[in-house]
Structure 1
Amino acid sequence: MFHLLPTTSSKTLARSFWGFLLLLGLFSHSSVAQTTPPAADVYVDPAGVLRWQGSRQEVALFGVNYTTPFAYSYRAHSQVGSNLEQAIRQDVYHLSRLGIDAFRLHVWDVEITDTAGNLLQNEHLRLLDFLIQQLKQRHIKILLTPIAYWGNGYPEPDVNMTGFSSIYSKDQAYRNPRAIRAQENYLAQFLNHRNAYTGLLNREDPDIIAYEVCNEPRYVQPEAEVASFVRRMVTAMRSTGYRKPIFYNIAESPVVANAILDSPVDGFTFQWYPSGLVNGHSLRGNPLPFVDQYPTPYRQDPRFTRKPHLVYEFESGDILQPLMYPVMARSFRSAGFQWATQFAYDPLALAFANTEYQTHYLNLAYTPAKALSLLIAGRVFRQTSRGQQFPAYPQDSSFNNVRVSYRNGLSELNTTEEFLYTGSTTTTPRKPASLQRIAGTGSSAVATYEGTGAYFLDRLAAGVWRLEVMPDVVALHDPFATTSLRQPVTRIVWNTQPLRLALPGLGTDYTVRGLNEGNTFQAQATNGTVRLQPGVYLVAARGKKTSSFTAQTKLGSIQLGEFVAPPATTLPAQVVHTSPGQVVAGQPTTLRATVAGATATDSLLLIAQHFYGQTRTIPMRRPTLTTAEATVPADLLYPGLLRYWIVVQHEGKHTTFPGAFPGNPRQWDYSPQDHWEAPIVAAGAALPLFRAQADQRRVEAGGINGGGWSDYVTTPVGQLALRLLQAPPAPAPTTPAVAPVAFLRAYFADRLADRSAHVGAFREVVLRGRRGAGAGPVEVVFTTRDAAAYVATVELGNEMQEVRIPLTAFRPGAQLLLPRPYPSFLPLTFQASGPATLPLAQAEVLQVLLHAAPAAAGTSRPFLDIESIELR
C-alpha cells in the first residue's frame, strides 16, 4: 500500500503507478526492494508549500553542505592523519552548536558506482551512512543529491574513479542511452540502500526529507531530450516506493526551463554565489548590495509558483566579513525559499589550510565570526515569513531583531531570549533577565573578552549557565589565495584569557568548574572576572547547588561536557602585519601588528629607520595577547622611505620579522634583507588608487558574462598596464544590453585612510591610459562605504596619456555588482541614495568599465589599457 500525500492528484498517481509497472522489469536484476516505507514526514500542499506531515507547519530549514566522506576531503583527512569517523563526529557537533538543522550533499556517484550504475559497498558509502546517523542524532534534516557528475579530484587531479560519471560527461549524461540506464539503475539502488548504522533504507528514512535528482546539469536544446530524461529519473526513483518530494535544478540551463517546469518533479532548486567564485584573494568593500534581493525567474509562471523552491548551495565567495549570511537568509525568505544550505562547511581537520575549496571558508574554530553569522542567519531564515518584503539596502540594515552593520563589521541578533553577535558591540540586550542563550566573539554588555575565539553561554537554571570557550584564532595568510596543506592560513592558540560576565542573577563572585574531559579547573570570579583556557564550564552564582549538572546532562541535542577544538598550532611565534601604502611626513604614525605564539612575558620591539638615516628602537604596547602597536615619532618621518622591523624577545633571544630570522637588525652582523617599508610623503602628494605594476593581487578585473576579458601588457615605453578587451563572441543571452564588456575593480579605502587628514585637498582623478581603435565608452565609478555610487565618463585617445577628471564631474549613479553574481539572471547594477556630490572621504572602491563597441574587423579586439589611476 502506498501512503498518499495530501496533494497527490489522480494524474500524478496514474503517472507514478504506470511508471512503476514499467520499471518492474527494468530493475529485475537490481536490488530494488518493494517494502512499504513509513509515512513521509513532509509533503507539498496545493499552494506549492512544503509542510511537515504531522503539524502541517511550513518547512523552513537552514544549514550547510559538508563533504568529508568523498573526494578531496576524504583523501586530505588521510594525509593529515585524521580519523574520518572521529572527524565527522566533531564537525557534526560544531554544526549543532551553530544551530544547523539542514544538511545537503551532492554524492560523488563516481566513487560509489560502477559504469553500469551498480552501487558499490565501499568505504565512501559506509562513511556517508555514518554521517547520516550522526546528523540524525543531532536532529538535522537531510537533502541528498545522488548524482553529482563531478570527478573526485578538485583541487587535485581525479583519482581512482569507478562510476558512470567517469566515462559520461554532463553533455552525454542525458543523451547517451547507456548513461541514462546507468543513472536509472543507480538511483533505484541508492534509494534502496540500507544504512549500515541506522538500519533504514535511504528512501524510508524520515530524516532524509527530499532528494534532488542531480547536481547542476548542463542542457541544450532540444527540450524534448531534457523532458524525457527528467521523466525517466523521476520514474526510476518512484519505482522504489519513494513518495517524498523530488527536486530538480532549474537555475543552470535556463534555455530549457520549460522542460523542467513541465516535468513531474515536486519542486525546483537554485544556488547563489553573489560575489562570484575563485577571485584569488579576499574581496573588500561593502558586500551588502550583492545580497539585497534574489529575484527568481519564472515567478509569474504558475508552473513555478505551485511548487516549493530550495537553495541547494550558497556562499559569499572570497568574503570573510561576517555580514552576508543573515541578509542572504532574509533575501531567500523574501523570494519564497524554504531550504537553504551553504556550500561548504570546512572540516575541522582541514580548515587550518582551507584547501578543500579555497574560495569558501567557514568553520567554527577557524572563522568564528563568520560561523556565528551563519548561526544568526539560521535564526533569520526560520523567523522571517516566506515572502516577507523589506526596504532596499541600506534602509534594511536592521530587520526582524537583526542588525547588520558594514561600518562596524558586525551582525547581531537581539531578542528577549537570545543575544548573538559576531564582534564587539555596544548594543544593550533587549531583556537581560530573560536571556537563555548568548554567543559571540569580542565583548558586549554581558561578556567582556579579550580572546579572538567564539564563546557560547546557555542558561540551565536561574543563576546557572553552561559556558563554552573556543581557542584564540590568528589569521596568517589570505585564505582565498592559493592554498596548500603545507601552509596554515589560520593559527590556533590556546591562551588563558580574562572573561568578565555581567549576567542578571549571576553576581560578581560566581563559581566556575570545568566540565569537558580532562578539565579540572575550579575557581571563583573576582569582580565578575575569571581567567580561562578553552573548554566547557559550569558557571553558577555563589551558593547555587550544581551537583545535578554533569558532563552527561543533556542540553537539546548535545551533552553539557561535549567540547571539540583543534589543538594549538605547533609553530614558533609569528607576527602578521601589512605596511601602509603611504605615511604622511611630519606626523606621528601608529603601526599595529597581530601576534601569535608570543607569551604575556615576551617583549616586542619596533625597529624604525629612515632609509640610511636615523634608526629608533621603540617598545611595542600589548593591548591584548594577540595584538601589538607602537607609534613612530614625527621627527623620524620626514619625506623619504620608512623601513622597519618587529622583534620578539623571548627568554633573552631575538627573532626578527618579517621572515622570523634570529637576531636583531641593529646588530652589526644581521644580514637578512627582509623588511617592511612605506613611502613618507608630503601632505600634497598624489594618492595612488591603482598601479598596474604593483596591484595585480589586490584588484579584480575581467570580462562580464562572456563579453570580454583582461590581461596585463607592456606599453611602448616598457611600463606595465592592465588591458581590458572586448571578447569575440557575443555576450551571454542573460546579459543586459547596457552591461559593459570588461571591468577593473580596485579597493582603496585603506590607502585613503592613511591620508585621511588631507582628503579635502584632492581635486581630481588622474587616469593614465589609452583606448584602442574601435573601443567603446569608458566610465569611472566611485562607490562609498554606504554603497552610493558616483559616475563620470572618460575620453581617451589611442596614445598613452594622462586624463584628468575633476571630482566635481562625478554624478550619482549606479554601481555594477562586480565580480558578477551567479546565476546570471541576478541583478547587474545597484543604486543607493547618497549626497548630491561625491563624498570622497567615504569612498572605498573604484570601478573602471569598458563598454561594448561594434564588432571589430579582423583578429584585433577593442581594448582599454590602464597604467595608473591616482588622486591629486
Structure 2
Amino acid sequence: MKLALAFLLLILFVAPIAYSQKSNDVYVDKGGVMRWGNTKEEVKGFGVNYTVPFAYAYRVAKQLNVSPEKAIDDDVYHFSRLGFDLYRVHVWDTEISDTLGNLLENEHLRLLDYALKKMKDRGIRFVLTPIAYWGNGWPEKDEKTPGFSRKYGKAACLTNPDAIKAQQNYLYQFLNHVNPYTGVAYKNEPDLIAFEISNEPQHGGRASDVTAFINGMVGSMRKTGCAKPVFYNISHSIHLAQGYFDADIQGGTFQWYPTGLQAKHEIMGNLLPNVDDYKIPFAANPRFKQMAKIVYEFDAADVGRSYIYPAMARSFRTAGMQLATHFAYDPTYFAYANTEYDTHYMNLIYTPQKALSLKIASEVFHNIPLYKDFGKFPADTSFGDFRVSYGQDLAEMVTKDKFIYTNHTTTVPENTEALEHISGSGNSTVVKYEGTGAYFLDKLEKGVWRMEVLPDAIWVQDPFGYNSLDKVLAVINWRQWPMSVRVPDLGDDFEIRPLNKGNDAKIFNTKNQTFNITPGAYMLVKKGASNKLTSASKWKNITLNEFVAPATTLEKTYVLHSPVKEVSAGEDVRVKVQIVSLKQPEAARIKLLVKGVKPVDLALEHTGGYQYAGTIPAEFLKGDVVNYCILVRENGIEKQYPSEQENIKDWNNEVDKLFETHILPKSSPINLFSAAADHEQLLRPYLKTSRLNPVPEMGTSELSIYPEKAEQYAMRYNFKNNIAGRKSDVLSKTKLVFHGRALNEKPCTIELVLIGKDGSVYGATLNVKPESSAYAMLLADLKKTDFISLPRPYPGFLPYSINTTPEAGKLDLSNIETLQIVLLPAQTAGQNQKPLAGIAIQNVTLE
C-alpha cells in the first residue's frame, strides 16, 4: 500500500514536468545553444513584434472602426508570405493586471490569445515578454490603466518589495493562463519557445541585488511547473552583467538600433558599415558562453532603403543569436500614416521592398551557421547565398530553388529550371514587372504555379517625420501593368486563372510569357498540364485563394520631384519625375520659365511604371537660376505642378509655385554642407546647447557646436543631393574648405572627412581659430581614417569607430557623398584631454 502510494505521488510530482517537457521541447545545451529535444537540432526563428491586441494599435482599430481580429488575420497572412516563423511581443501588463499583479481576463488578453492561435495556424512560434513596464499611451498620453506598472513605474518595480511581489504573482498567473482558443496554458504551449521576463529593465544597485530580483521572478515562474527556457535582458545596465550571469536564467536578450532612433527624417548614405559587427563586450565570459542568445528587437530606424536587413541578420548569426524579431510591424489598417512608431516603418503592403529585405533576413537566420564569420566590410557584402548592395539598394538570395530580391537585379540564377519560389520587386532576369508592389511565385506541382501580385505602394512624403492619422505618407494604387514570367517549367505559353474572391479577371493565356496583370492571386498552368488543385486547396500554411490588400487609396495625382539644387553652367540638366496617377496620363511635359523669354515646352518621356524623365538643354541655363514646372494632362484637363493649378494663361505672373535650380560657374565652390539649409539633416548626438544663429554681416547662419564632455564629438551629413548637378566639376577641385570659427576665444582642432558611397573614408585635421574665416586643406593630403558609427547605436556598447577603407585604396572624388566632421579634444603635455572649445559651422565646400 505504501509502495503504491509512493508510486502515485511520484507520478503526480513528475507528470507536470514530463508534460511540460513534451510540450516545450526546447533545452539549452552546455555550449549555450537552444536545441529541440526530440531532434537535438538548433532552434532558429525570425519574425516581428506586433501590437494590435494592446495600447495604441488597439485604440486606433476602434477609432477607425476596424475589427482587431480581422486585422490580425490579414497581417498574419502576410507574415506567412514573408517566411516568418517567430513572433514576439512585450505584453502591456498595465492593461491586463491590477496593482496586486492579478491577471485580468479582458479584451486585451483575449486578443493576445487570438493572435497566438492565428500564429500557430501559420506555423509561427513565439517568445513572450509578460512584463513591459510601459504605460499604454505612446505616441499619445497614458491612460489610467489598472496595472502595477502604472502604480509603481519601471524604476520602483525593480526595487519596491510590494511591486516585486505583484510581479511574481502576475508571472505565476500569466504562465498558468489557459488560452481559450487552444485550451492550453502558456506554460505548456508547444509553440511558445521561451519567456523573456521583462522588457528592458534598467537596474541600479549591486549585481547581487539584480541576481536576487531575477531569481525571485524565475522562482515564481518555475512554481507553475514550466520548464521552458527563461531569458533576461542583458544589453541594459551592462555594468551589472555579473548579476545576470549568476542568475537562474538560460539566456540573454539583446536589441540593435544601429542608426539610432527618432532622426525625424530619412537617413541617407551607405549604412552597411554601421551593421558590420554586433560586438558583445562580455562575449568571452565563461558563464555567458553557456547562455542562449536572442534578439528581442532590432531595426535600422529611419532608413527607407532595402539593402540593410540581411547584413544585420548576418552579424547577429556571427554573434551567436538564434532568434530575432524586428521592431515593429505596422498593422496594415493604419500603416498609411506610420503613427505607432514613426522612427520605424515595416509593412508588406506599404513598404514592400523593406519587407522583402526582411524576408531575406529570415532566410539568412535559417541558413547561415551560428558564429560563422564572413570578414569585415566590404568583403562581407556577399555571404553564402546572399548579397547586399547599397549602390543598387538591393538585397538578394539566390539558391538552387529560391530567388528573392528587393529591387531591380541582373543576377542570373544558376538553374532557372530548378526554381520553386520567386519573390521580388521590380525587374529580374526571370520576372519583369512595372508596378511597385511585391510579388510571389510558388511552384505547386510540375507545370503549375501560384502567383500573388500586390498593389502599388508609393511614399508621397518622408515617412519618418512628425506623423498623424490625418497625414497621408503612402498611397495604394491598383493599376494594371505589363508583366512577364520566364520560368522554364511554365514554357512560353501558359494559362492564368484568377483565384481570390472578388478577382473579376477572366481566364486568359499568355503570349510569349508576357501579359497584363492587376493585383490578386492567380494560378499559372503550363499549356497541356493538368492538375486537381482548386482555389480552396491548401498549400503549406496558406489556402490558394487567400489574398489581402487594401483598396486603392489614391485620391489625386501626385507629381513627386526633387529639383537639382545647383547645376554647372554649360551642362544639360536631367529631370526625373514620378507621376502617380490612377491611370497613365495622356501627356506630361516640362514648362521652362526663363525671365524675359517666352516659356519653353520640353518633352517628358515615360520610362516605365510611374517614372518620367526629360532634359533641360544647357542653352536655356542662363543667369543665376532656372525655374520650371511639370504639366500633366488627365481627362482632357492639364494641371501644373507643384502648385496643382489649372488653366494658366499668363505663365510669368499666374504661377504660385515653381521648381528652382541655381546655375553656377564651373569654377565656383561646390557646397557640401550649409548650416542654414542642411542643419536639420545633420546626424549627430543631441546637444541642448547647440543653436543655429544668424550672421547678418555675412548674410548667412552658423551652427554652434559646444560639447559638454571632453571627448570626440562627431557629425555626419550626406551631400549626395547637393552635388548631383555638379558631379563633373568635383574632379577639378583641389581643396576642402571649412567656413566658420572656434568658440569661446579658444582655438580647436577638427577632422574633416569625405566618405565614398563604397564606404571608403579619407580625412585630415584642421586647426580652427576664433576668427571667422575659410580654413582649407588640400584634398591630396587626405589620408585613410575611421568611419564613425553615426547616429550612435543602441545598445551603447557597440563600436564607436570602424575601419572600412582598403589598405591600398585612395580617395576617389567621383565616389564621395558624405561629410564627417569630428571635433577633437585638446591635449596637454601629459596627453590628458581638456574640455572641447567648440565650433561654429557656416558651411563646408570643395574649391
TM (norm. structure 2) is: 0.94
Q: Name the residue aligned to 2:831.
A: none
The runs of 5 or more residues in structure 2 that have no matched partner are 1-9, 829-834
SS in 1 for 2:77: helix
State whether structure 2 residue 318 is matched by structure 1 residue 356: no
Does structure 1 retain, via aligned residues, the 8 Å contact 2:494–2:509? Answer: yes
CA distance in 1, matches of 2:157, 2:595: 65
State whether structure 2 residue 90 is matched by structure 1 residue 110: no
Q: Name the residue aligned to 1:781.
A: 753
1:608-655 Cα distance to aligned partner (Å, 9 max, x none)? 112454421223222224112221122211232111111221122222
1:651 pairs with 630, 635, 640, which one?
Answer: 635
Report the CA distance between 1:38 and its aligned residue: 5.9
State whether structure 2 residue 700 is matched by structure 1 residue 719: yes
Q: Name the residue aligned to 2:673.
A: 690
CA distance in 1, matches of 2:186, 2:102: 16
Does structure 2 retain, via aligned residues, the 8 Å contact 1:34–1:240? Answer: no
Does structure 2 retain, via aligned residues, the 8 Å contact 1:789–1:814? Answer: yes
The residue type equivalent to 1:373 in the other structure is S
Q: Name the residue aligned to 1:4.
A: none
Report the CA distance between 1:356 and its aligned residue: 1.0
State whether structure 2 residue 233 is matched by structure 1 residue 249: yes
Report the CA distance between 1:836 and its aligned residue: 4.7
* 1:67-146 equivalent positions in 2, closer than 5 A: 67-146=51-130
Does structure 2 retain, via aligned residues, the 8 Å contact 1:63–1:102? Answer: yes
Q: Name the residue aligned to 1:342.
A: 326
Report the CA distance between 1:418 and its aligned residue: 0.3
1:428 pairs with 405, 412, 416, which one?
Answer: 412
SS in 2 for 1:777: strand
1:827-846 Cα distance to aligned partner (Å, 9 max, x none)? 11111234554211101110
Report the CA distance between 1:238 and its aligned residue: 0.7
Does structure 1 retain, via aligned residues, the 8 Å contact 2:747–2:769? Answer: no
The residue type equivalent to 2:208 in the other structure is A
Does structure 2 retain, via aligned residues, the 8 Å contact 1:687–1:871? Answer: yes
Q: Name the residue aligned to 1:846.
A: 819
State whether structure 2 residue 530 is matched by structure 1 residue 530: no
* 1:219-298 equivalent positions in 2, closer than 5 A: 219-298=203-282
* 1:569-718 equivalent positions in 2, closer than 5 A: 569-664=553-648, 666-667=649-650, 671-703=654-686, 710-715=690-695, 717=697
435-444 or 223-232, larger mean C-alpha shift: 223-232
Does structure 1 retain, via aligned residues, the 8 Å contact 2:297–2:324? Answer: yes
Does structure 2 retain, via aligned residues, the 8 Å contact 1:595–1:625? Answer: no
Does structure 1 retain, via aligned residues, the 8 Å contact 2:477–2:582? Answer: no
Does structure 2 retain, via aligned residues, the 8 Å contact 1:283–1:318? Answer: yes
State whether structure 2 residue 360 is matched by structure 1 residue 376: yes
1:569-622 Cα distance to aligned partner (Å, 9 max, x none)? 142111111111112222222211112125224322211112454421223222
Q: 1:223 to 1:709 in 2, by over 3 A?
A: farther
SS in 2 for 1:540: strand
Q: Name the residue aligned to 1:811.
A: 783
State whether structure 2 residue 752 is matched by structure 1 residue 768: no
The residue type equivalent to 1:763 in the other structure is T
CA distance in 1, matches of 2:703, 2:189: 56
CA distance in 2, matches of 1:269, 1:647: 54
Q: Name the residue aligned to 1:13.
A: none
Does structure 1 retain, via aligned residues, the 8 Å contact 2:590–2:602? Answer: yes
CA distance in 2, matches of 1:165, 1:612: 69
Q: 1:300 to 1:326 in 2, by over 3 A?
A: same
Does structure 1 retain, via aligned residues, the 8 Å contact 2:566–2:723? Answer: no
Does structure 1 retain, via aligned residues, the 8 Å contact 2:577–2:613? Answer: yes
Does structure 2 retain, via aligned residues, the 8 Å contact 1:574–1:660? Answer: no
Q: Name the residue aligned to 2:546.
A: 562
1:758 pairs with 701, 710, 729, which one?
Answer: 729
Does structure 2 retain, via aligned residues, the 8 Å contact 1:713–1:721? Answer: yes
The runs of 5 or more residues in structure 1 that have no matched partner are 1-16, 22-32, 731-738
The residue type equivalent to 1:684 in the other structure is S
Does structure 1 retain, via aligned residues, the 8 Å contact 2:748–2:767? Answer: no
Q: Name the residue aligned to 2:6.
A: none
SS in 2 for 1:429: coil
Alignment root-mean-square deviation, CA: 2.1
Report the CA distance between 1:805 and its aligned residue: 1.6
CA distance in 2, matches of 1:559, 1:836: 54
* 1:107-506 equivalent positions in 2, closer than 5 A: 107-506=91-490
The residue type equivalent to 2:729 in the other structure is H
The residue type equivalent to 2:520 in the other structure is G
* 1:725-764 equivalent positions in 2, closer than 5 A: 725-727=706-708, 740=712, 742-764=713-735
SS in 2 for 1:761: coil
Aligned pairs, how many?
A: 823
Does structure 2 retain, via aligned residues, the 8 Å contact 1:686–1:871? Answer: yes
Does structure 1 retain, via aligned residues, the 8 Å contact 2:585–2:633? Answer: no
CA distance in 2, matches of 1:223, 1:121: 36
Report the CA distance between 1:711 and its aligned residue: 3.0
SS in 2 for 1:370: helix
CA distance in 1, matches of 2:348, 2:438: 8
Q: Name the residue aligned to 2:842.
A: 867
The residue type equivalent to 1:68 in the other structure is V
Report the CA distance between 1:866 and its aligned residue: 0.1
Report the CA distance between 1:507 and its aligned residue: 2.0
1:310-360 Cα distance to aligned partner (Å, 9 max, x none)? 111110111111111111111111111111111111111111111111111
1:639-675 Cα distance to aligned partner (Å, 9 max, x none)? 32111111221122222211323334x5469745222
1:124-162 Cα distance to aligned partner (Å, 9 max, x none)? 111101100100001111000011011111111112322
The residue type equivalent to 2:761 in the other structure is A
CA distance in 1, matches of 2:595, 2:153: 60
The residue type equivalent to 1:851 in the other structure is L
CA distance in 1, matches of 2:827, 2:148: 45
Q: 1:505 to 1:226 in 2, by over 3 A?
A: closer
112-121 or 579-588, larger mean C-alpha shift: 579-588
The residue type equivalent to 2:841 in the other structure is I
Q: 1:504 to 1:265 in 2, by over 3 A?
A: same
1:714-763 Cα distance to aligned partner (Å, 9 max, x none)? 347473211211216x7xxxxxxxx51x3321101233332122221111
Does structure 2 retain, via aligned residues, the 8 Å contact 1:268–1:307? Answer: yes
CA distance in 2, matches of 1:526, 1:209: 49
The residue type equivalent to 2:661 in the other structure is A
SS in 1 for 2:65: coil
Report the CA distance between 1:504 and its aligned residue: 0.5
The residue type equivalent to 2:813 in the other structure is L
CA distance in 1, matches of 2:696, 2:219: 65
SS in 1 for 2:269: coil
Report the CA distance between 1:202 and its aligned residue: 1.1
The residue type equivalent to 1:712 in the other structure is L
Q: 1:667 to 1:197 in 2, by over 3 A?
A: farther
CA distance in 2, matches of 1:360, 1:222: 35
CA distance in 1, matches of 2:168, 2:596: 75
Q: 1:674 to 1:863 in 2, by over 3 A?
A: same
1:226-266 Cα distance to aligned partner (Å, 9 max, x none)? 22211111111111111110000001111211111100011
1:541 pairs with 508, 521, 526, which one?
Answer: 526
